[in-house]
Structure 1
Amino acid sequence: MHTVRDTFFVGAFAFACFSPVHALAFDLDTLAERARALAEQTYRAPEPIPRVMRELSYDQYQGIRFEPASSLWAGSDSRFQVMFFPAGLFYTHPVRINVIEGEEVQPLDFRKSDFSYSDPEIERRVPADLGYAGFRLTFPLAAEKEQNQFLVFAGASYFRGVGRDNAWGISGRGVAIDTGLPRGERFPSFVEFWLEQPSPDDHTVRFYGLLDGEDLTGAYEFVATPGETTRLDVKAVLFPRGEIEQLGVAPLTSMFFYGENTGRPRGEWRGEVHDSDGLLIADGASGEWLWRPLLNPVNLEMDWFAVERLAGFGLLQRDVDFSSYQDLGARYERRPGAWVVPRSEWGAGHVVLVQIPTDTETNDNIVAFWKPVEPVKAREAYRFEWTVGFGPGDPVETGLARTVNTFVGDGSVVGGGNVPGAYRFVVDFEGGSLPRQAEGGEVLSRVTGLDGTEVLEHFVEFNAALKTWRMSALVKPEAGKSVALRAFLSDGENALSETWSYRLPSDNDILVKRR
């Protein structure tokens, strides 16, 4: 974590009055001085849009559609274009949009005529100066003359990206503040953007964002590269207004309703419903790759994974088999993963996983982010750089076998283990240097119980039906405690797989309720 140990200075106030001008250069340093000056001031919440727009129904808001022909840069030689969202519904305040063309910065005014309206009465009520809620970036991903959406910024500091063949799913954020803590999470917002027009040959687009909130301000530079995996390079300079208990860097937000490792809600016909099925962490110091399957817990759950030197973390959708979901509308098998790689020195810290109970797939209930060990103090500047990639499959080839299935059952039933209070875990590994057949070499299971979890038995065998190696473990937690496990496959000397990690709260839907 790079910390600039200097105090804010009042002389930078001039930047807080920034207005469109002819500029010799607009860059992150310019914007950072504005964010620094803004942090010196008392936070003022943005003015809300008119009540009539805030009270639109979902269908009414969706009936206001941006006309693609009105896209920014549609009449230029640039391969990129920009579409806009109107403020309304849960987008309760507009964001300012500016365009950088060469050395000139100009504001982009809201134009009511750029939208079509399914309801004439709604059209009549939309103010001429309503403002934009955010924007969508488009690029010819599939065919040269067809514009495809690949990145969306709208709402607080949220953004979403997709690769060429993905459906929309996981989100990123500019920052997370006290997520999961008792005092409650706060949501700083991007309040202004600057979009830099690409040249005709550019395959990347650059833009800037100013963040403001009760706890901090921030200056951001983004460089987006669309493709099979869409890459977003991020540089951020943050200015806390006060001490922050839990600063979440490079946060990711996803949804896990239920999966192969959980019970299925009564009446559900689909096998699994989730945007992501696990958290992957790479520790650059130890070389360990760790996979933690996700849960939809009964109560809020938080896990902290200590990392000395973070090489990467992400929420992934490893199960890309349609038969697992059977949903022709949602197409969960096409949801992208998001993989974060630090591009500056972040130091020691924790990857934090927050899992929130939900009774519907419409709620994002999974959050993952990096938290620095060092406390975050007021009157200092914190600089972070990272890349987040949105795309299919695992982000890198590790040379290790990966987890492809995790099943959890009641260990007290016949076939599970017949041990009261126990659980049966069945985990499939594939790839890496694992033998492709049962006689291909020695494969051993290494299973460790943590926090009082007793491992009663474990073994591994070749699963010829799936061409995987299946680890099975019967474990028993202390009464009223969570199951906590770590496991990997070995040839006796070296690890053959990533580390599989699991924590199952005592209040769960696995154990059979007996009358």
Structure 2
Amino acid sequence: MRILLAGMVAMFLMFPLHVAAGFTFDQVVQKAKNLADKPYEVPQLVPKIMREISYEAYQGIRFNPDHSLWKESQSNFQVMFLTPGLHYTHPVTLNVIDAEGPRPLIFKKTEFVFADPEIEKRVPADVGFAGFKLTFPLKNKNEQNQFLVFAGASYFRGVGKENVFGLSGRGLAIDTGLPSGEVFPSFTEFWLVRPSPDAKEMVIYGLLDSISLTGAYEFTIAPGSQTKIKVRTKLFPRKPIQLLGIAPLTSMFFYGENTSRPIGEWRREVHDSDGLQIHDGFTREWLWRPLMNPANLEMDFFSTDNVQGFGLMQREEKFSGYEDLGAHYEQRPSAWIEPQGDWGQGKVVLVQLPTPNQTHDNIVAFWTPVTPVTRETPLEMAYDVSFGKANLSQNSLGTVVNTFIGDGNRIGGGNVPQAYRIIIDFAGGPLSKMPADSPISGQVTVLDNSDILEHFVEYHEQIKGWRLSILAKPQDKKPLHLRAFLKTDTTALTETWTYRLPMNNQILAQEKE
């Protein structure tokens, strides 16, 4: 009998926990399909006390890490939980899948620490979960570090080993930036697959619901210097969708080197991301679009064919770029989306909204298909999303280091009224091996009827790269839309910098009457 039991235990240990008891991604897909066949039901709200709680009071409710899921087995992966409240107004259902199959997790108020005893008395014992945080020994084997959070609608936030939390990923974006108003799908249920104690990756299933569609998600999560999440999803539309955003990223850009600094601000830059990077599959071109905080909603559409990747990046990774000891924007992660399989024709969409401060996310980027999304067309997509340092995309070309934009009618800028002086610094890639007297030139084009008055290239000793200087004047009451890269006679040396400067930008000096 002992031999038989030992053999059974050995077989069990060899058997991956994520397929225990036959629960698979296909079952989540079936749940999503069945849900799409039913009318949408608005999720229940949490009690009023939790919806109206102040930010300070909500921050005073902390999960006790001593109660982390799987802590008793000293697992690499452990789970901490979040209560509803503040922005998290709908509870989510959480399940665990282990050797015994799937089972629901029960909310226990005693696992939380309350800074305010009065709040503790008023919080219902069955208020439920808002989401969860994954921890892993990222920095040393004896310390659990938070690296991934699922909470609020379809949002999730990840970091690599050297990051602090910043931008977010999302399960899906629907009609973002459209006059009809954005639809925010929500994960309503999760299944956490218990990994072996020494596992390096973990699987989570998610069920997404909204008035527009439902979806099944599989996340295969591998934390590290770069935290990589393999995402597989199947979507079931309930109705036609005008603008479907696949693999959306959400970030914040208050101001940066390419914009004016708000009056009274002492920090040099304030942003979670400073640019959108795109790698097109058909042209093989790498694009870089610096972000901005516009006066009005701005939407840009970048046509792609078999897109190879896109992401919101935080390229400024020096403390001196921000000088903020509290926020540490230099440690905020970049995020890179890498499609799996041929996504075909589509567009990477950049949505930029005005924000009065750094507390509001105002940047969204996603991919949308050219093919209309109808009720009769389920969609299957797969992609990787990585969180980490700004070199995630592994672009081998020279990259944009700085973008500066100023008045083209002042000393050092030029003497042309209503013109702009644009400075773009490039470094890295093949540029790092080229001598200062190399025959490098700039290729500058306009995408409207603006005038390029001059452009020239200079070697930049401080960055071991080159500076492209442009003097350009837009047509009256038109935005300035430019593209530029560095080249030799026959070869592109850098990614393509692209920029659209709105008319209302507060850069040009006001003329005195």
Q: TM-score range by the shorter chain?
A: over 0.9
Paired residues of 1:25 and 1:103 also in contact (CA < 8 A): no
Corresponding position: 1:249 with 2:246: yes
- Kindly tell me: are residues 297 and 116 of structure 1, through their superposed partners in 2, closer, same or farther at Cα, counting changes over 3 Å? same
Where do residues 432-511 of structure 1 align in structure 2 (5 Å cutoff)?
Answer: 432-434=429-431, 439-511=436-508
Which of 72, 76, 81 is the equivalent residue of 2:73?
76
In structure 1, what is the Cα distance between the partners aligned to 2:100 and 2:347? 41
Per-residue CA deviations over 1:126-181 (Å, capped at 9, x if unaligned) read 11110000000000001101000000000000000000010110100000000001
Q: CA separation in 1, counterparts of 2:380 and 2:87?
A: 30
Secondary structure in structure 2 of the residue aligned to 1:310: coil
**Cα displacement (A) at 1:200:** 2.1
Q: Which letter maps to 2:125?
A: A
Q: Distance in 1 between matches of 2:64 and 2:161?
A: 22
Residue 29 in structure 1 maps to residue 26 in structure 2? yes
Give the alignment's TM-score, normalised by structure 1.
Answer: 0.94
Segments of 4+ moved more than 3 angstroms: 435-440
Please tell me the residue identity of whatever aligns with 1:70.
H
Partners of 1:344 and 1:371 in 2: CA distance: 15
Q: For residue 92 of structure 1, what is the amino acid of its counterpart?
A: T
Contact map agreement 1:78 1:199 (CA 8 A) in 2: yes
Q: For residues 11-50 of structure 1, what are the structure 2 equivalents within 5 Å? A: 24-50=21-47
Of the three residues 44, 48, 51, the one matched with 1:54 is: 51
Shift of 1:102: 2.3
Task: Name 2:354's counterpart in structure 1.
Answer: 357
**C-alpha distance 149-439 of structure 1, shift in aligned 2 (>3 A):** closer
| Cα separation, partners in 2 of 1:439 and 1:270, compared to 1, 3 Å | closer
Q: CA deviation at 1:77?
A: 4.2
The answer to whether the 8 Å contact 1:290/1:501 transfers is: yes
Alignment of 1:178-197 (within 5 A): 178-197=175-194
In 2 relative to 1, CA 425–438 (structure 1 residues): closer, same or farther, beyond 3 Å? farther
Counterparts of 2:331 and 2:219, CA distance in 1? 25
Residues 48, 439 of structure 1: CA spacing in aligned structure 2 closer, same or farther, 3 A cutoff? Answer: closer
Distance 1:23 1:46, change over 3 A: farther
Structure 2 residue matching 1:78: 3-state secondary structure? coil
Q: Give the distance between the partners of 2:408 and 2:20, measured in 1 at CA.
A: 68
2:317 aligned with 1:320: yes
CA displacement at 1:52 relative to structure 2: 1.1
**In the alignment, which residue of structure 2 is the partner of 1:8?**
none
Q: Mapping of 1:54-453 within 5 angstroms?
A: 54-434=51-431, 439-453=436-450
CA distance in 1, matches of 2:363, 2:452: 29
Instruction: Tell me how far apart the structure 1 counterparts of residues 80 and 243 of structure 2 sit (CA, whole Å).
Output: 34
Identity of aligned residues (%): 57
CA distance in 2 between counterparts of 1:300 and 1:65 reads: 37
The superposition leaves residues 257-313 of structure 1 with CA deviations (integer Å, 9 ceiling, x where unpaired) of: 000000000000000000000000001211100000001001100000000110000
Please say if residues 437 and 464 of structure 1, whose CA atoms lie closer than 8 Å, have aligned partners that are also in contact: no
Q: How far 1:422 sits from its partner (Å)?
A: 0.6
Following superposition, the deviation at residue 411 of structure 1 comes to: 0.7
* Distance (whole Å) between structure 1 residues aligned to residue 395 and residue 254 of structure 2: 29
Sort the Cα spacing of 1:105 and 1:397 in 2 relative to 1 into closer, same or farther, 3 A.
Answer: closer
Amino acid at match of 1:333: E
SS in 2 for 1:481: coil
Letter paired with 1:511: L
Counterpart AA for 1:360: N
Matched with 2:6 is none
Distance 1:496 1:345 in 2: 27
Find the aligned partners of 2:105 and 2:94 in 1 and give their Cα distance: 5
TM-score (norm 2): 0.95
Distance 1:119 1:439, change over 3 A: closer
What is the aligned partner in structure 1 of residue 9 from structure 2?
Answer: none
How far 1:103 sits from its partner (Å)?
A: 4.8
- For the residue of structure 2 that corresponds to 1:75, the secondary structure is helix
> What is the CA distance between 1:465 and its match in structure 2?
2.8
Distance 2:484 2:340 in 1: 30
SS of residue paired to 1:434: helix
Summarize the Cα distance change of 1:45–1:380 in structure 2 as closer, same or farther, 3 Å threshold. Answer: same
Give the Cα–Cα distance (whole angstroms) in 1 for the partners of residues 223 and 436 of structure 2: 44
8 Å CA contact 2:229–2:385 kept in 1: the answer is yes
What is the aligned length? Answer: 494
Asked if the contact 2:336/2:393 (under 8 Å) is kept, the reply is: no
User: Cα distance, 1:435 vs. partner?
Assistant: 5.5
Greater shift in the superposed pair: 146-155 or 394-403: 394-403
Contact residue 75 and residue 198 of structure 2 kept, 8 A: yes
Point out the more displaced range, 343-352 or 251-260: 343-352
Report if the CA contact (8 A) 2:69-2:78 is conserved. yes
Counterpart contact for 2:432–2:464, Cα < 8 Å: no
CA RMSD in angstroms comes to 1.2
SS at match of 2:130: strand
CA deviations over 1:33-82 (Å, ceiling 9, x no partner):
11111011111111111111111100111111100010111112421100
Contact map agreement 2:403 2:424 (CA 8 A) in 1: yes
CA displacement, residues 375-420 of structure 1 (integer Å, 9 cap, x when unaligned)? 0001331111010000012213332110000000011223211111
Counterparts of 1:434 and 1:156, CA distance in 2: 44
Give 1:505's aligned amino acid. P
CA spacing shift, 1:454–1:387, aligned 2, 3 Å: same
Contact 1:438 1:461 in 2 (8 A): no
The answer for the alignment partner of 1:14 in structure 2 is none
**Deviation of 1:27 (Å):** 1.4
Counterpart amino acid of 1:385?
Answer: A
Question: One-letter code of the match for 2:30?
Answer: E
Decide which moves more: 273-282 or 406-415. Answer: 406-415
In the TM superposition, residue 29 of structure 1 has moved relative to its aligned partner by 1.1
